[in-house]
Amino acid sequence: MQTHSLAHKTAVITGSSQGIGRAIALRMAAAGADVIVHGNLHLDESEDVAEKIRKLGRRSTVMPGDLEQDTRCDALVDAAWKWQGAVDIWVNNAGADVLTGAAADGSFQEKLHKLWRVDVNATIGLSRRIGARMKKAGGGVILNMGWDRAMLGMSGESGQMFAAVKGAVMAFTKSLAQSLAPEVRVNCLAPGWIKTAWGDDASNYWQARAARESLRDRWGTPEDVANVACFLASSDADFVNGQIVPVNGGFRCIADS
């Protein structure tokens, strides 16, 4: 039996063609929401997610766009609001991939700039745009995506980049929640080691480290994050606002090496 009902709600999940975003889109649809699937580079997979949502008996459409461009962020908010006359739930899940593919060969500064444009600038811009509409309409939920280690730090270039970027998103979330209260709730998920595409190909070192840094002794899954997102988006979480919610199985502190 499904809990945390999202019946009669319209949700937008950015970056929902794969991984965590895909799991959130499907989980919210299973809870009763109509879902706008957003993607940029993986449009076939976006359409596949939308079709799976339709098979659950919910409405779904794909709205592609490169969130590095402010004009595309504006267009996405306008189109999403127009689709069914309002948006009840907005999940800023899209993030730049600088760990795999061509971007992995870039310099530290190139990777940081790309992360900042997508993970921070787009999250802030989209949240402010949709938040203003939600507040005027009298209600809504915004969920952002942080990182559990941003609160503690992690050595190495990746740790430095992601701590700075996701730390900014987490701090922004707390301020936006105060700005949009009481009509709109704003929270931030802070996943730990979640096994997405990078985790599938990670070395034995990272496989072992991901398990031993969680009190659950395992990788997290996209579905673990999706379940928490569905709860936070539902009326069951009505008194949860301006919070950073770790999804890591309980962090076990160990040395980075």
Q: What is the mean pLDDT of each run of 10 residues along the chain (257 residues)?
A: 82 97 98 96 93 98 94 96 98 89 84 94 98 98 96 90 96 98 98 86 86 92 98 98 97 70
Res 4: pLDDT: 79
Q: Are strands 184-191 and 140-145 parallel, antiparallel or unpaired?
A: parallel
What is the C-alpha separation between 199 and 212, in angstroms, rounded?
Answer: 14
Residue 228 carries which DSSP code? H
What is the C-alpha separation between 8 and 33, in angstroms, rounded?
Answer: 6
- CATH architecture label of 10-247: 3-Layer(aba) Sandwich (3.40)
Res 246: pLDDT: 97
Three-state SS at 13: strand
Asked if 224 contacts 194 with a C-beta cutoff of 8 angstroms, the reply is yes
Short-list 31, 16, 61, 1, CA closest to 237: 31
If you search the block for the tokens 């899954």, which residue do you land on?
A: 221
Res 256: pLDDT: 56
Claim: this prediction has a pTM higher than 0.85: yes
